[in-house]
C-alpha cells in the first residue's frame, strides 16, 4: 500500500478472502485500475505458491496485473519487487495452485514504478 501511495496512486486493500488479488490501485488522472497480488516471503525461500485464480486473473488482465513480492528478512520487510506479466501459460483445469521458482520471478521484476 505504501509503495503505491509513493507512486501517487490510490490503493485499496481488498477483503482477506478476495481470491484474485490483494490490492486494487487507481491511477490518478486516468481512473485506470491495477490489480496487485502481494506475496510476502522469508528471504532465501526458493519458491512462491500462486493460486489458480491469481494466475487466471493475471492472464485475463495482463496489462493491469502486478505480482508484488516482498521479502522478509528478520523483522524487516524489503522493498517490493513488481513483476509485470508474471505468468505466460494457463494452468490445467484440475490444478489449484502452482509453485514458482522465486529467484526466476524476482529476476524478471523491478522496483515499483
Q: Cα separation of 9 and 15, whole Å?
A: 19
Q: What is the pLDDT of residue 79?
A: 95
The domain at 2-107 falls in which architecture? Answer: 3-Layer(aba) Sandwich (3.40)
Q: Tens digit of pLDDT for each residue in 58-84?
A: 999 999 999 999 999 999 999 999 999
Kind of pairing between the strands at 47-51 and 81-84? unpaired
Q: 62-65 long-range contacts, Cβ below 8 Å, gap at least 24? A: 64/32, 64/33, 64/34, 64/35, 65/21, 65/34, 65/35, 65/36, 65/37
Question: Do the Cβ atoms of 25 and 9 come closer than 8 Å?
Answer: yes
Domain ranges of the chain: 2-107
What percentage of the chain reaches a pLDDT higher than 70?
A: 100
Q: What global pTM score does this model have?
A: 0.94
Amino acid at each position: 500500500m505504501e509503495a503505491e501511495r509513493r507512486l501517487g496512486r490510490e490503493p485499496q486493500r481488498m477483503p482477506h478472502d478476495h481470491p484474485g488479488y490483494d490490492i486494487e490501485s487507481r491511477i490518478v488522472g486516468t481512473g485506470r485500475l491495477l490489480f496487485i497480488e502481494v506475496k510476502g516471503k522469508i528471504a532465501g525461500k526458493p519458491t512462491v505458491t500462486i493460486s489458480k485464480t491469481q494466475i487466471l486473473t493475471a492472464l485475463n488482465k495482463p496489462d493491469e496485473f502486478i505480482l508484488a513480492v516482498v521479502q522478509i528478512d528478520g523483522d524487516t520487510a524489503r522493498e517490493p519487487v513488481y513483476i509485470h506479466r508474471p505468468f505466460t501459460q494457463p494452468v490445467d483445469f484440475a490444478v489449484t495452485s502452482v509453485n514458482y521458482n522465486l529467484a526466476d520471478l524476482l529476476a524478471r521484476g523491478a522496483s515499483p514504478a
